[in-house]
Every structure is written in C-alpha cells, then in structure tokens.
Amino acid sequence: MTLAATELEFRTVIGLEVHAQVLTQSKMFCSCSAEYASAPPNTHVCQVCMGLPGALPVINRSAIESVIRTGLALGCTIPPYCKLDRKNYFYPDLPKGYQVSQYDLPLCVDGQLTFTSEGVEKTAGITRVHIEEDTGRLLHRDEGGASVSLVDLNRSGVPLMEIVGEPDLTSPVEARDYLIALRQILRYIGASTGNMEEGAFRCDANISTRTADGSIVGEKVEIKNMNSFRAVERALIYEEERQRKLLAAGESIPQETRGWVDARGVTVSQRTKESAHDYRYFPEPDLPPLTIEASFVDSVQAALPELPAARKARFIESFGLGASDAELLTLERETADYFEVAVGSTTDRARQISNWLLNDVFGLQRERGLPFDAFPIEAQQLNQIVELVEAGDLTGSGAKSLLAGIEPGENARAVAERLNLLAVGDSDVIRAAALETLTANPAAVADYKGGKKAAIGRLMGDTIRATGGRGRPDTVRAILEELLSE
Amino acid sequence: MSVGSELTGLTIAQARDLLDAKEFSAVELTQAHLERIERLEPALKCHIEITPDVALAQATAADRAIGDGDQSPLTGIPTSLKDVLCTVDSHTTAGSQILKGYRSAYDATVVSKLRSAGAVFVGKGNTDEFAMGSSTENSSFFPTHNPWDIDRVPGGSSGGPAAAVAAAEAMFGLGSDTGGSIRQPAGFCGVVGLKPTYGRVSRFGLIAFASSLDQIGPFTRTVEDAAIVLEAIAGHDSKDSTSSPRDVPSFRGSLRTDLKGVRIGVAEEYSVSGMEAGVETAVANAIEQLALLGAEIVPVSLPHTRYALSTYYITAPAEASANLARFDGVRFGHSVDAPTIKEMYERTRGEGFGSEVKRRIMLGTYALSSGYYDAYYVKAQKVRTLIKQDFDRAFEQVDVIVAPTSPTTAFRIGDRIDDPYQMYLADVFTIPANMAGIPGISVPGGFSNDMPVGLQFLGQSFDEATLLAVAHAYEQSQPWVTMTPALQ
C-alpha cells in the first residue's frame, strides 16, 4: 500500500548525545597537558596516555568535579557511588585497545534542560552525564604516492563527558536550540569551551519517525559526523524527510547508524544493527569505584554560577532591559560579567550602558578583531563615559571618539579633556556655528519657517558638526530656535 | 673471608652484615653471582637477559654508598627481576615475541625503589608469556629448568626468578602472582615466595595480566629476607590507584621463633583427589610441627574454595583480554605490515602471541560478550565475593591458615603442556588468595620424591607481619632452609 505523504500526520522523535571535552589543565589519567590542539603531534604524551605496557591511570579530580558541576547545572542527581568501565574496541587512535568510560553507573543521572525554541520555552530530559577519555587523532596523508595514516596521541586521555538527552525533541530546529542552550551552560560553568570547530563539542543524534496515531513506527536511526549547529539541523531535516518518505511509501526503516555528508547534504548508511560493535564493557579494575560525598556535591552546587536563563530574567527584572538585549548580554558569561561590573551601583544607568555595550563597545571589539571575552575598554570606563553623556558633558560623537581613544587605567573625563572632546556649552561658539549653518542652508531655514519644524534636525546636525562634534545638543537647539524665531 | 662461591650461599641478612663490615665488596658479591650465572645458565635458563654491565655499575655505586655509610638493607644485593617488570636499562619482554626487543621508557615503581635502595640487577627472569602459565614452558623464548632436577619445570609463571634464587644466581628475585605465580614456583624450587596483600605493593610498571589479581612479591631463601625485601618494595604509590595508603610496618621486627597463642587454621578443602602422597605427608608433618611450636590448630571451613579455579579462569582472562589489547603493532613491539588495519592487527597478534595467551584472550572475550556477560563475568564476581567472605569468617577464628602450595611437586617438562586443565590444577591452592586479595607465602616444607614441597600460609589482608612471623617460626624449626640443590 502506498500513501501520499500528505495523507499521514507524522511525528519526529529526536534525542541527542553530546560529547564535550572537559576543560582541565591536565589529562584525565595523567599529568600531561590537556591543551592538545596547538601542540606538535605526540608532544603531550606519556606512558599512561600512550598506553605503554605497565602504565596505570590515576583519575583527575578536577575533571570529576567539572562533570558533577555540569550535572548539577542540568538539575541531575549525583549518585553517591559510581564506577568506571572499560569499553573494548580496536582502533589505531585508541592506544590501550579500550576506552575508559562509564557504563551502568554514571556520575550524574535524571536531569533536564530548559531552552527557548522559536519563542517557546521547552524542557527536555537529560538521561545521564558520564565521564570518559578522548581518543587520539588520525591524520591521513599522501606520502610519495602512498596513502599513510599517522597517529597523534596528544588528544588521547583528554577528559570528555557524554551528555545523553531523552528523546524529548520534536523537530530539527528544537534540536539545534537545545544544543545552543546546552553549549551556553557548559561555557557558563567553565566545564567546556564548547568549541565545535575544534571538536570540543560533538553531537550524535537519534531520530525516529512515527505517525501521530502510532499506527506506523519507524526504527531509531543514529546520525553522526555533524560538525556545526547548522549541520545538525540540516542533517535532521534531511533525515526527517527521508524517513517520512520511506514510511509513506510503506517501507520500513531499519535501525542503523548513518553519517552526515555535509558537502552533499545527505546522510549515508554506515552500520546496521547486525554489525554493531559488542564493546564488552566491564568494570575498570585499575580504578577503584568512586564514592561521591554529599558534602562535596553540596560545595560544587554552592559554587555554581548563575545560569544564563536565570541571569537573563534578572537583567530584565532588575535593570529594565528588553528581552532581546538581555539575551544578547547573557549569551556569554564574560559579557554578562562585564556588563554587571560596568553597571556597578548605578542601576539607573544600566539601560544606557547596555545600549553602548551592545552597539559601540561590541562594534569596536569586532573592528579590532578582539575575541568575545576581550573588551576594548574597561567596564568602569564605560560607566564613566555613559555618565558623561548623561550629564551632557559628552555628545554622542564625542563619546565614540573617547571610546576609541581611551587607554586602560585612564579616567574618561581626563581623557576627554586632554583630547578636547568635552561638550561645548559656550553660547558664543555655538551661536557662530549656528549662524554659519543658517547661512549655508537657506532651504532648510525656509522649510522651518514654512512650518516644517522637523527641519531643525538637519540644522542641528550641521551646527554640531561645525563645533567639531562637541556642541551640547540642548544649547544648539535653544540657540537655533532663538535665531530662527528672529 | 676470601672471595669465592660461598658468597652466593649467603642470605641477604648475612650478606648485609659482611658487606657493611667490608669483608667483601658489592662488586665481589656481584661478580660471584655473575660467574655462577655464566656457569649455570646453559642448563637452567633462568634469565631472558643477563645484565652484567648494569649489575657491575650498580655494585660499584653500592660500594661507594657503603663507604659513605649511606647504605640500605638491599645495597649491593644481586637480584633477578621477572621480565614483566619494566626497566629502562634492559629489555622488557613479558616472555613474549610481541615484545621482543622492547625497551621501556620508564621504570616500574618497584624497580625505582630497588634502584634507590642500591640493589644490583643481574638479569630479567624468565616467565610464562604474559605471566600466563604454571611451568614457564609458555615462555616464547625457552623453558626454565628446575635446579633440583633439570628435567623438571621450575613452576610458573615466575619460574625464572624462582629458579635463579634456588640456584643462587641471585640473592632475591621479584615475581608477580596473579593466581599463584610466585608461591607455586617458590614451592617447586624450594625457596620462599611471598604474595603480599593486593594493594600492598605498587603495580605501576608491571605488565598487567589481570589487574584485579596481580601483585608483585619477593623470592628469597629465608622468610627474614622476604620481610627485608617486602619492606623495601611496599607502600602507597600515587601512580597506582589501587595501592593502599596504609603504613608499612617493620615486618622484620615482628618475626618470632615460637607460636604460643597463635591460632592456625586447617581447611579440609585444601586437599584434592590426585594429590601427591608425599605432599600430603609433608603438610601433615608441618601441622604437627606447628602444634609443637605452640600453635593451636583449628579446623576451618572454606566451602567456596572449589569454585575458585573456575571463577578465576573467567575473571583473569576477561581482564587479560582487555589488558593485552594494547599489543596491536601500532606503537611498539612486533608489528606486521599489511594492506589494511584489520589485517595488520590479525597478523601482528597472530604471530606475536603464543597459544596459551590466545586461548586466554578468547576465553576472556567470550566471558565478556553480550549475552554471556551475566552468566560468566558477573557470576564469577559474585563467587569471588563468597570466596572472600569464606576467608573473612575463617579469620574470625584463626590468625593464619596453613595449606599445601600445590597438589604436587614439580612435574616433568612437557608432561602437562598439552593439557591446559592439568596445568591449571597446579594453581588450585594458590588461586583463592588472589581472588580474596589476601597475602600468602610459600616456604620450603620438606621433600617428596627428592623434590621440594611448598608449604603455604595464608593471612589476613594487610597482616603480612603475622604471616611472616608464623612462616619464620616454622622455617627456623626445620632443616629445609639449609638444603640446596646439588648443582655443578
């Protein structure tokens, strides 16, 4: 029986598995540096992470703490007891022939992630968060006509956490927004850089399709090789459509693993259920089980920073910011911290500081090619500049010049004075500039006198420009009105 | 005292006094052992590699330390290290072709400890491949011969260092014991062999067979010497998460010569059909002797003992199947070039591993497989707990348990090599201690058909002090320690 796709009402079920590198100084089981990306191949290695005979692992407490912090940020329960297991398989980037991971007793269980998708707040369950070690990397090269594979073990043993989500997501766009929210939290709590390009944040997706009435249910398909949020969304859109077409055509969907081929925009079959690995998990005998003290969990909980959603809500509530501005200010913890330092005790200045930060400070940051967490001026200086603007001592254009010219440690007013940027209230100077402007703009003068009062805007702009951008707007307006009424 | 072959007949304790009194030098002591090695090795083959240059350099340094009054109990003492212990200045092969020519980039923790104690490394002792075996016949290089009868096996897997100590090629040896690999060869070779409590000695740098069972320990000629070596190698190691933070007491200080007030358990389960009559007689005589020394002999029951061997042959191969996965030809050791990575693995491991190692990898892989895991691995862990509980209950009644080390004395080379099950039975009395993690020691307990009989004492976890004290009292009351193989 073949049905047109439009005759069936389909539901999509998506669950995501995220692998995030845990941000630590050293690797998970040895003291080698975990900073592998920039190092020459096989320079951050030792007997432990190379899997040399006789070497034994020693667990990195800081990695365990970061995973627990992640679990707590996701509302998970931290069981008092957990263990590590060996996951056995052969691959040249896996030096021991097994990966130390967690099988049935993970560090964190039963959490949830609340996120916004297309303006609607959603909550998806988090099944578990567990710790494991990363593998090395293979580099495939052509050397003298022969293709060779080289192994770089710098990444081997870098701590990794797997965050397994419940199949609570119902569309590709939801999946993307879930990932964005999850990555934001990991960055907020300092548990991971979340850098997808560097592979510090990787996602596999499980997607299945069924009809709304449950009469047709397709098997779960796992999608791999998605290297950006966009790729995740595109792959799931493709897969959703592929599965719907198959079901509509009366075909079944086999349980399998498929890979996303970004360049072609398709998923291709990699492995069927029958050929799935038997990983032969068993408890890692080289590491005793971990007992997680409740007092330790409490101390990690107490040290959790305010999470992005709560912070955004507070910015709206306490500072009277609009939702989209609050969203932008809380995207990164560093930005939100900077903003709060800039506001300090001058809460009534918060909206102006927000405007200047989002427009001009960010603009300058981009212009200078600075990273997101490096600000072109100090937070206190931003407050001082906004204060000068509010007091009328600095015009908008003066403030922009000051932003660009101020150096770290300098006082905004002192720099404005030195650079001759302070607003001019001297009516003689402004009167001369205003007369000059009126003479040069007879048409605008005529408009104004003919009743088009808005024409004063253009005259004001020209007058201020004639003062080198320093004429106080209120004085300029008063003098222009006085002259035009003569 | 003149320098001569009598130097090799000393105990560590005796040699220490004479070295410190400058009766002879560490270089002379080492040369005497190296000469003996040169003379005996063609017949015995205790060592995979002999390291005279390393030994003489260490001996020279030892003499300097002694001259400076900076010596420790092992300064200048020649030792044979089982070739599963990583050493930077010689090869480390685990008795396997897959590691032929391999040089470790680092020293095992016990090796570092012995180095800083001033010990002298004469060679790397032969072993069954990856410590899998009970006769040293599974060494992929050559079998070792028993110094008491060169047609017989020295036991295994640590047969090399056991035979080396019995033949006085070294004053002590280090072995590893996963299911009896120290105690059983010690019994076969008529020397003292101690398996400490799991966690007492760091495993860092020991090429793993079964991580939850492996433990490093000494071969010596006397119990006192075993106490001396254990003090030198025991203690917490931050590089081994399973090593215990407990303090290491003075084992030597707790040695005694009578057994008044000591309760010694005898378990009926430590008697099996097919036991050698001479072994049974020797053990019965030993129990009488212990009573004469003042010990109270108490019958105890260890009902799960009979499941120990079969559960061991699930647990140990399961762990081994993962531990040996790193020998893949990618980074070190034997490697066969092949068109695909899969073929490279298959050919490297197919050529590099011997048949017993392959058998155990297959056993372990099977026991961990999906669908069989609960029936084999999980069940074995449950039985392991029961075996441990047996001992916990027994040790509420007694201080130590006495038992034979092995059902027979050393068998002939070739007799059991084609019958793995008969070979496995040689460890039937030593395996339970590994499963429970408790310490065990084998001391010479007489002779059967002119071959040494091993007498085993089992103690409570981390109570090697009592174990050594009882073993010492027995040893001092018997003539066995003075008897040595008649080697030319």
Q: What is the pLDDT of residues B21-36, one digit of tens each?
A: 999 999 999 999 999 9
CA dist., res. B446 & res. B452, Å (int): 6
Question: Do B241 and A55 make contact, defined as CB atoms within 8 angstroms?
Answer: no
Chain A nearest-CA distance from B206, in A, is 5
DSSP string, B80-144: EEETTB--TTSB--TT-GGGTT-B-SS--HHHHHHHHHT-EEEEEEP-SGGG--SSSTT-SS---
CA angle in degrees (0–180, nearest 5) for B434-B439-B441: 105
Q: Give how many domains chain B has, as a whole number.
A: 1
Question: Do A52 and B105 make contact, defined as CB atoms within 8 angstroms?
Answer: yes
Q: Is the pLDDT of residue A298 over 80?
A: yes
CA dist., res. B389 & res. A404, Å (int): 76
Cβ-Cβ contacts under 8 Å, B319 against chain A: 282, 285
- pLDDT for A54 equals 98
Q: Report if residue B100 sits inside a domain.
A: yes
Question: Do A52 and B238 make contact, defined as CB atoms within 8 angstroms?
Answer: no
CA dist., res. B367 & res. B316, Å (int): 10
Q: Report if residue B322 sits inside a domain.
A: no
Cα B456 from chain centre: 13
Question: Do B328 and A96 make contact, defined as CB atoms within 8 angstroms?
Answer: no
Q: Quick one: CA torsion of B250, B256, B260, B263, rounded to 10 degrees?
A: 50
Question: Do B365 and A280 make contact, defined as CB atoms within 8 angstroms?
Answer: yes
Q: Is the pLDDT of residue A457 over 90?
A: no
Minimal-distance CA residue of chain A relative to B107: A54
- Label residue A259 exposed, middle or buried (CB < 10 Å: 0-12, 13-18, 19+): middle
Q: What is the pLDDT of residues A166-185, one digit of tens each?
A: 999 999 999 999 999 999 99
Q: Report if residue B76 sits inside a domain.
A: yes
Mean pLDDT of B361-378: 96
- pLDDT for A450 equals 87
The confidence band for A1, taking pLDDT boundaries of 50, 70 and 90, is very low
DSSP-derived letter for residue A5 is G
Helix orientation angle between B159-166 and B26-44, rounded to the nearest 10 degrees: 120
Q: Is the pLDDT of residue B66 over 70?
A: yes
Omega cis (within 30) before B157: yes
Q: Report if residue B119 sits inside a domain.
A: yes
Mean pLDDT of A402-424: 89
Two tokens at B294? Answer: 């003042």
Question: Do A56 and B319 make contact, defined as CB atoms within 8 angstroms?
Answer: no
Q: Report if residue B34 sits inside a domain.
A: yes
Distances (CA, A) of B366 to A22, B104, B214, B357, B435: 34, 31, 21, 14, 20
Q: Quick one: CA torsion of A302, A305, A306, A312, rounded to 10 degrees?
A: 180
Cα A260 from chain centre: 23
- pLDDT for B5 equals 60
CA dist., res. A203 & res. A196, Å (int): 9
- pLDDT for A409 equals 92
Query: What number of other Cβ atoms are within 10 A of residue B380's Cβ?
Result: 20
Cβ-Cβ contacts under 8 Å, A54 against chain B: 85-86, 92, 104, 106, 108, 204-208
Q: What is the pLDDT of residues B280-325, one digit of tens each?
A: 999 999 999 999 999 999 999 999 999 999 999 999 999 999 999 9
Q: What is the pLDDT of residues B207-238, one digit of tens each?
A: 999 999 999 999 999 999 999 999 999 999 99
Question: Do B208 and A47 make contact, defined as CB atoms within 8 angstroms?
Answer: no
Q: Is the pLDDT of residue A262 over 60?
A: yes
Chain B nearest-CA distance from A15, in A, is 24
- Label residue B88 exposed, middle or buried (CB < 10 Å: 0-12, 13-18, 19+): middle
A120 Ramachandran zone, left/alpha/beta (phi>0; psi -120 to 50)? beta
The answer to whether B306 and B439 are in contact (CB under 8 A) is: no
Residue B118, domain extent:
5-262+399-482
Two tokens at A479? Answer: 């003098």
Q: Which residues of B are catalytic?
A: 82, 157, 181
Domains in chain A, start-ordered, CATH in brackets? Answer: 5-295 (no CATH), 306-418 (no CATH), 427-485 (1.10.10)
- Label residue B101 exposed, middle or buried (CB < 10 Å: 0-12, 13-18, 19+): exposed
Which residues of A fall below an 8 Å CB-CB distance to B?
Answer: 47, 50-59, 86, 88, 90, 92, 95-98, 149, 151, 278, 280-282, 285-288
Q: Is the pLDDT of residue A348 over 60?
A: yes
Partnered with residue B271 across adjacent β-strands are none
Mean pLDDT of A287-302: 97
Cβ-Cβ contacts under 8 Å, B124 against chain A: none
CA dist., res. B233 & res. A359, Å (int): 67
CB pairs < 8 Å spanning A and B? 103
Query: What number of other Cβ atoms are within 10 A of residue B142's Cβ?
Result: 12
Partnered with residue A405 across adjacent β-strands are none
DSSP string, A50-66: TT-TT------HHHHHH
Question: Do A278 and B369 make contact, defined as CB atoms within 8 angstroms?
Answer: yes
Mean pLDDT of A348-364: 95
Q: Quick one: CA torsion of B323, B325, B330, B334, rounded to 10 degrees?
A: 80
Q: Quickly tell me which residue has 């260490």 as its tokens.
A: B58
Q: What is the ipTM of this complex?
A: 0.95
Q: What is the pLDDT of residues B379-421, one digit of tens each?
A: 999 999 999 999 999 999 999 999 999 999 999 999 999 998 8
Q: What is the pLDDT of residues A123-132, one digit of tens each?
A: 999 999 999 9
Question: Do A88 and B208 make contact, defined as CB atoms within 8 angstroms?
Answer: no
Pick B330's closest partner by Cβ from A56, A151, A278. Answer: A151
The confidence band for A52, taking pLDDT boundaries of 50, 70 and 90, is very high
Distant-in-sequence, close-in-space partners of A470: CB < 8 Å, separation ≥ 6: A395, A398, A420, A421, A422, A423, A424, A464
Q: How many CA atoms lie within 13 A of B453 on its CB side?
A: 23
Mean pLDDT of A75-100: 97
Mean pLDDT of A198-220: 93
Mean pLDDT of A311-334: 94
Minimal-distance CA residue of chain A relative to B320: A285
Pick A287's closest partner by Cβ from B86, B241, B331. Answer: B241
Q: Quick one: CA torsion of B239, B241, B247, B251, rounded to 10 degrees?
A: -80
Cβ-Cβ contacts under 8 Å, A57 against chain B: 241
The answer to whether B429 and B445 are in contact (CB under 8 A) is: no
Pick B204's closest partner by Cβ from A54, A287, A288. Answer: A54
Helix, strand or coil, per DSSP, at residue A434:
helix
Distant-in-sequence, close-in-space partners of B202: CB < 8 Å, separation ≥ 6: B108, B109, B110, B216, B235, B236, B237, B239, B240, B243
Partnered with residue B92 across adjacent β-strands are none
Question: Do B211 and A288 make contact, defined as CB atoms within 8 angstroms?
Answer: no
Q: Report if residue B332 sits inside a domain.
A: no
The answer to whether B176 and B108 are in contact (CB under 8 A) is: no
Cβ-Cβ contacts under 8 Å, A83 against chain B: none
DSSP string, A187-219: HHTTS----TTTTSEEEEEEEEEEETTSS-BPP
Which residues of B fall below an 8 Å CB-CB distance to A?
Answer: 85-86, 92, 94, 99, 102, 104-106, 108, 203-208, 210-212, 238-242, 318-319, 321-322, 324-328, 330-332, 341, 345, 365, 368-370, 373, 377
The CATH number linked to B124 is: 3.90.1300.10
- pLDDT for A31 equals 97
